[in-house]
Amino acid sequence: MPSLTVPIADEEIRALHAGDTVYLNGVIVTGRDAAHKFMVEKYVKVAEVDAAERPLHDELKRLLNGSVIYHCGPVVRQHEDGTWEFVAAGPTTSIREEVYQADVIRYFNLKGVIGKGGMGANTLRACQEQPAVYFHAIGGAATLIAQTVRRVLAVHKLEFGVPEAMWVIEVENFPVVVTMDSHGVSIHDQVEARSKAKLAELLALA
124-171 per-position pLDDT tens digit = 999 999 999 999 998 888 999 999 999 999 999 999 999 999 999 999
As a whole number of angstroms, the distance between CA 203 and CA 198 comes to: 9
Mean pLDDT of 84-107: 97
Q: By C-alpha distance, which of 149, 141, 108 is closest to 26?
A: 149
The verdict on whether 36 is a catalytic residue reads yes
Query: 3-205 adopts what CATH topology?
Result: fumarase (3.20.130)
Mean pLDDT of 76-95: 95
As a whole number of angstroms, the distance between CA 53 and CA 23 comes to: 33
Contact indicator for 165, 38 with CB cutoff of 8 Å: no
Phi and psi based region of residue 198 (left: phi greater than 0; alpha: psi -120 to 50; beta: remaining)? alpha
Res 176 pLDDT > 90: yes
Task: Give the per-residue pLDDT at 1.
Answer: 77
The structural domains of the chain, with segments of one domain joined by +, span 3-205
As a whole number of angstroms, the distance between CA 96 and CA 33 comes to: 7
- Over residues 14-72, the pLDDT tens digits come to 999 999 999 999 999 999 999 999 999 999 999 999 999 999 999 999 999 999 999 99
Catalytic residue, chosen from 36, 71, 156, 188, is 36
Q: What are the C-alpha distances in Å from 188 to residues 87, 127, 145?
A: 29, 14, 22
Instruction: Supply the mean pLDDT for the chain.
Output: 94
